[in-house]
């Protein structure tokens, strides 16, 4: 999986960076958790600061565009983002029978 940054802007009002990326991959489509992990390593930020907003895949290509928001801290992320968007990037808890 290769990640190419195509846009990076700073939003001072909301204390975040807004990054547009293109993800190129071989094989199955990577999960949100894999993409967030790769972005954390690439941009040197923690997972509590990142929100992976949208994924737009083009038919027939092994790539997609994504919008990522990187907050200065976890408090500003939780103040701005809606809870269901934050929960998208987390693993689901296993249910015990």
pLDDT digits (tens, 9 = 90+) for 33-43: 999 999 999 99
Domains and their CATH numbers in the chain:
2-78 (3.30.70.330)
pLDDT of residue 18: 95
Answer whether residue 86 shows pLDDT above 90. Answer: no
Confirm if 30 and 51 have CB atoms less than 8 A apart: no
Answer whether residue 25 shows pLDDT above 60. Answer: yes
Res. 60 pLDDT band, cuts 50 70 90: confident
């Amino acid at each position: 999986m290769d990640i190419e940054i195509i846009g990076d802007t700073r939003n001072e009002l909301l204390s975040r960076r807004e990054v547009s990326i293109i993800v190129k991959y071989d094989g199955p489509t990577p999960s949100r958790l894999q993409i967030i992990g790769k972005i954390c390593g690439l941009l040197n930020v923690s997972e509590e600061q990142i929100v992976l907003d949208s994924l737009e895949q083009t038919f027939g290509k092994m790539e997609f565009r994504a919008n990522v928001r990187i907050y200065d801290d976890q408090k500003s992320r939780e103040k701005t983002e809606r809870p269901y968007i934050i929960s998208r990037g987390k693993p689901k808890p296993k249910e015990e029978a």
